[in-house]
Structure 1
Amino acid sequence: MYKLVKPLFFSLDPETAHHTVSGGLQSFCKVWGGKRLLRAVYGYDHPGLAREVFGLKFKNPVGLAAGFDKNAAYVEEMAALGFGFIEIGTVTPRPQPGNDRPRLFRLVADEALVNRMGFNNQGVDVAADRLRRLKNRGQLIIGGNIGKNKLTPNEEAVNDYITCFDALFDVVDYFVVNVSSPNTPGLRDLQEKGPLMHILSTLQQRNRKNDISRPILLKIAPDLSDSQLDDIIDIVRETGIAGVIATNTTISREGLQSRPALTSEAGGLSGRPLTRRATEVIRYLAEKSNRAFPIIGVGGIHQPDDAVEKLRAGASLVQLYTGFIYEGPALVKRICKKIARDH
């Protein structure tokens, strides 16, 4: 089915296509029986899919990565497509429009996307309110991906992360600290050990003051060196955060086949070209840490074997975004079936 409509979607500007498809899915789910039909077509339940990771019970290990549903507007709709967990955001304390359009580009020859969205979102309070009003959450696990506003200086960034953490605490199951997007000026500087330790330690102190604590994860870039990855392992151990998401988009353009006008666009690259590097990062972190903490694997998952490879490399869970765009919603079910067969 998706193969029939994909050419139509791909004839549209990528950002327009995203809003058209998401809005259409939302409208369909409002029709009586719409969500039930989607679950029947795209859902897949099997006891071998259940996972318990950082104290949370996931009905299956395939999640939707941050970036697709920045404002928590489509949580129930995406859950109906079979995802085991949904990560909303990246959200910032204050609304911001992001970078100027066009800011999202398809590299079809490479099965990739380049984005320089710039944390466009309606602000953390809007997302929190939407999550608070969810009616049919059921077993669904929801993560909150948090960042800083563009105009917030790096030396004050911790305050933005605290604001988002407090606003979402009662409505999400886990948090992701995003310091690895290449599209907010200076943000990746926060991946250095000193600033990162300060942010994570501050959030952990706040976390421990609550009766119930939330797992905090760190999302890292695929462009880190081995020594920087060693620092990440040390940081996870020293701060006691729950785990790592590997990886975000890359600034590398190595080996691309698309025309130079597209490959030279500024922004983060995602999709098929990231498959190998994301898996390498997962394997490095898992082996060097002796699997001391859970890893969520994301980057270039376009086929079930891509997901299985990341799980075998050391990931506990996986997430989709660009592969979901190129392959369609049936990819979630195909991955789940593959994992269940291998169980």
Structure 2
Amino acid sequence: MITFSEKEKRAVSAVIQERIDEHLGRFPYARYPVEPLEEWRKTFCDPASVPPLTIKKALGWHFGGWQRQSLPSAVSRTISAILDAWTEFLPLASAEPKEFFQFWQAQLPDWNNGFSAAALLLHLQRPNDFELADRHRMDAMRELLQEIGHAYQGEDNRLGFADLVDYTAFFRSVLPKLPDKEDTRIKLNRFLKGYGNRHAYKLVSPDFRTKEPSIRAFSWNDLSSKRFRLDQIVGRANCDMLFTCFLLTLEAQGSTTTEFTVGEVVDLLPVGTAGICNEASFKYALVSLFSQQRQRDFWVFDKPEISRAFTEQANQSTRDMKFYDSHSKEKVNLNSKYIV
């Protein structure tokens, strides 16, 4: 098992704290929402009761495909191999972790994806014993240790069970050295994922930034507001959820503003708001949000023709999915019928 001194732990912690904001500022939050992961940790404690669709969803999430209709073919083949072998795996579900892991190592010929998949399954079934790991997180650990001069001897390519043990020890050694906040564990987990995959952003503009939604889960049954008439929102489509989240966000911020630009509205609704994490669905919902589609009347535009243009886009099958960007400076007012 990996060991490193208190001085080395503090050194790694210092590097992480220096870089964490930069990398979390580019983290794809909508691809990795935390809510389903928390639920799966409960579900996978009894592997025999986990339906195939849940296994597929969890693995798709792990590979960055949450709410996506299709996944890369290599990932799909790995998921199919796991589903095919699940019944054979069940007698080993309560075995020693190493035996558990080695079963999947033998079943998954594409170990490039297989390691990450097996690491997820081990974490979901035994979250108290193993941290969530994948190749990106392993790369992050290795590079951070190398940077502080630690002679880590893990394998670069054929990752195995010992590497998972090392990663868990690394994560749990560094975590106490970071500021003690409620979300520190989540932030460290995300940082290591993003840092290990930072090369994917080498062609992205330095100004590119992401934001985590303030409202990630949504239910029409749990809504209340002292400032807005949420009962006046009669639709139940994604755009109606986004409008509701916009109002609730304003209220949470204590904002009394009723006039905005289209861009200001969009900025308060990052992808993943209301649990809408499929980017295409989210963009369509944003276009519909500013339209009069199905008699929606959320906004009063300074230029009524802009509202009509949004409606035309929303009703077209070949719409401009970022039409709102072209009109980001247009001014809109909240319809007073939604204000108490």
Question: Which band: TM-score by shorter chain?
Answer: under 0.3
Q: TM-score, normalised by structure 2?
A: 0.28
- Structure with bigger helix share is 2
Q: TM-score, normalised by structure 1?
A: 0.28
Report the structure number with the largest CA radius of gyration. 2
- Structure with bigger strand share is 1
